[in-house]
Amino acid sequence: MLYRKYVLMAGFLLATGYNMWAQTRQSVDIKHATIFLNGAELSSSTKINLPQGESEILFTNIAGNVNQQSLNIGADNGVVIQSATFQNNFLVAQILSPQARAIQDSIDIIENGRAGTNNMLAVTNEQIAVLSQNKQVSGSQSGLSVAELTKMLDLIKTRLSGLLAEKDKLNATLKKTDERLALLRMQLEEEKKKDFQPGGQLLVKFYAPRATSSDVNISYVVPNAGWSPSYDLRVEDLKNPVKLFYKANVYQNSGVKWDKIKISLSTGNPSEGAQAPALQPWYLSFYNPIAYGEGYLNKKNAPANNMSLGGAREGGTAYIIDGIRVYGNRGVNLAQGSIDNYVQTNNSGVSTTFDIDLPYTIPTDGQAHLVSVKSYELPASYRYFAVPKMDRDAFLQAQITNWEDLNLIPATTNIFYEGSYVGQGYIDMRNTKDTMNISLGRDKKIIIRRERDKELRSVKTIGTNVKETFAYNITIRNTRKEAVNITLLEQLPISSDKDIVIEDTDTDGGTLEETTGEVKWVLSVKPNETAKKKIAFTVKYPKGKTINL
């Protein structure tokens, strides 16, 4: 059957002049969400039955605050979409957040119970009133013996005492109930103040050349959603590769629940805009400060004599929509247990997309929900790295090449070594070159000390100058059962003043980077062995001056 699709990029007509309850209502199911770093594209579908001619259907389960330019509607079987009108659903009962709705439900239950307690109190009061009247009547009855009258009064006393106790109990229950209701109502008001996005509705006018059914597809972009990456790094020992688990913290506050849908995670960000910036002429002119009188300049609010130079970037949002996207069967082998069997990576465009075939349910609560994306086994070489001037611990690092193929985004990492959690790190590819150094934490079995050499320490005055000698001894002890490779960094000072001269330097065989003063040693330290290195230098500077060492 020839499939014809009529696509309407619907500019949002202002929702006025129609009764939203008069049309046929039809709920659409959200099937897929492409989640950007900021924002998400939701795709919904449903089947409708249409009579010949024009008809209107009010589609529900639409997200709120939909991007106007992104709305895209398609239908088949020759059905034409004549118009579409979107509106947020501001019915009070439907805009409560899940937390607020739970509180409201608790209030309703407690209020129902309070009504029952109040009714019991009214009955008890009536019983007390009847007994009080009977007591007066009985006391005025003639012909009763003293014994009979006493017996009746005792009965009334017993019954009245029980009813009064019951009344006190019911009043105490009402007091506690009212206190609980007051707290819940305060909490409900706080929840209502939070930024909760109500869902929306979409009124679509169709034309069908004949009575028919049609598959309707609706897609649009919402801003109140997104994801951020995080990683787990696990290293069993230095003989095995690094295991990297790529995860995503997904959130959405679109006003509709994403119930068991397929999701795709995109590294794109439509909110940044698609238009490249354009330079405008930059005109220079002389700055002429405004002269103010002495009296004005002494005022508290006199303007500061500052000059600023600013610029602007062309913004806006642009979308290219070419029909309704179709998601077919990806042929995933569901028998396999790894998340990698449910994820496909597409990096053919300007951004990377991870298509996850496992269904996920994400409520519209704005909270982060963890989604597993991908896992990698990364061949790595390991080294220890230490900068004892800054920190006396040795840090284990995994060195990874060909990291460009991993489609990583800068994010925090949770690091596990030898089965134990060792802390958090950060992966940032923006300043990484051929090799990525991933820190795996501190190793307390590598003991490092850095001490100033007292014997070589000296201060001499020669003419108008002072010569001060500095020397530091560095020891590295390996208490592990295997040899370790360690990269050790130190530094020589660099003079930024011609009167300060650095001389008589000793790097003990280390490699010196002249421009930065960095000194590097690459050492192999055997088990239970101690390696020693030294760095020394002399600073000559004018007498009477102080240097920042």
- 8 Å CB contact between 57 and 23: yes
The pLDDT tens digits for 422-459 are: 888 888 777 667 788 888 888 889 999 999 998 888 88
- 59: its two tokens: 């589609």
CA 9 to mean position of chain CA atoms:
31
Q: Which residues pair with 24 in a beta bridge?
A: 57
For the chain, how many helices (H) and strands (E)?
3, 27
Instruction: Decide: pTM greater than 0.85.
Output: no
* CA pair distance 454, 237, nearest whole angstrom: 40
Mean pLDDT value across residues 165-173: 87
Q: Is 198 exposed, middle or buried (0-12, 13-18, 19+ CB in 10 A)?
A: buried
* CA pair distance 20, 57, nearest whole angstrom: 10
The pLDDT tens digits for 240-266 are: 899 999 999 999 988 888 999 999 999
Q: What b/e sequence results for 75-91 when a residue is b if at least 16 CB atoms lie within 10 Å of its CB, and e otherwise?
A: bbbebebeebbbbbbee
Residue 327 pLDDT greater than 80, yes or no: no
Instruction: State the residue for tokens 């209030």.
Output: 107
* CA pair distance 212, 51, nearest whole angstrom: 7
Q: Is the dihedral of CA 163, 169, 172, 176 positive or negative?
A: negative
> Using the 8-state DSSP alphabet, how is residue 438 labeled?
E
> Using the 8-state DSSP alphabet, how is residue 136 labeled?
H
Q: Which residues pair with 380 in a beta bridge?
A: none
Report domain extents, the chain.
Answer: 98-193, 381-542
* CA pair distance 304, 96, nearest whole angstrom: 49
Rg (CA), the chain: 39
**3 state DSSP class of 298:** coil
Q: What is the pLDDT of residue 471?
A: 94
**Average pLDDT value over all residues in the chain:** 78
DSSP per residue, 346-401: E-SSSS-EEEEEEEEEE-SSS--EEEEEEEEEE--EEEEEE-TTT-SEEEEEEEES
The pLDDT tens digits for 130-164 are: 777 765 544 455 555 667 667 766 777 777 788 88
> Using the 8-state DSSP alphabet, how is residue 467 labeled?
E
pLDDT > 70 in the chain, percent: 76
Return the half-sphere exposure (C-beta side, CA atoms, 13 A cut-off) of residue 40: 30
- Helix or strand (DSSP H, E) at 529: none
**Packing angle, helices 146-193 and 98-140, rounded to 10:** 160
- 97: its two tokens: 């957040």
CB atoms within 10 A of CB 536: 18
pLDDT band with cut points at 50, 70 and 90 for residue 303: very low
Residue 6 pLDDT greater than 90, yes or no: no
Q: What is the pLDDT of residue 324?
A: 33
CATH number assigned to the domain with residue range 98-193, chosen from the 4 options 1.10.1760, 2.60.40, 2.40.128, 1.10.287: 1.10.287
The pLDDT tens digits for 226-239 are: 999 999 989 888 88
- Helix or strand (DSSP H, E) at 104: helix 98-140
* CA pair distance 425, 417, nearest whole angstrom: 13
* CA pair distance 458, 465, nearest whole angstrom: 14
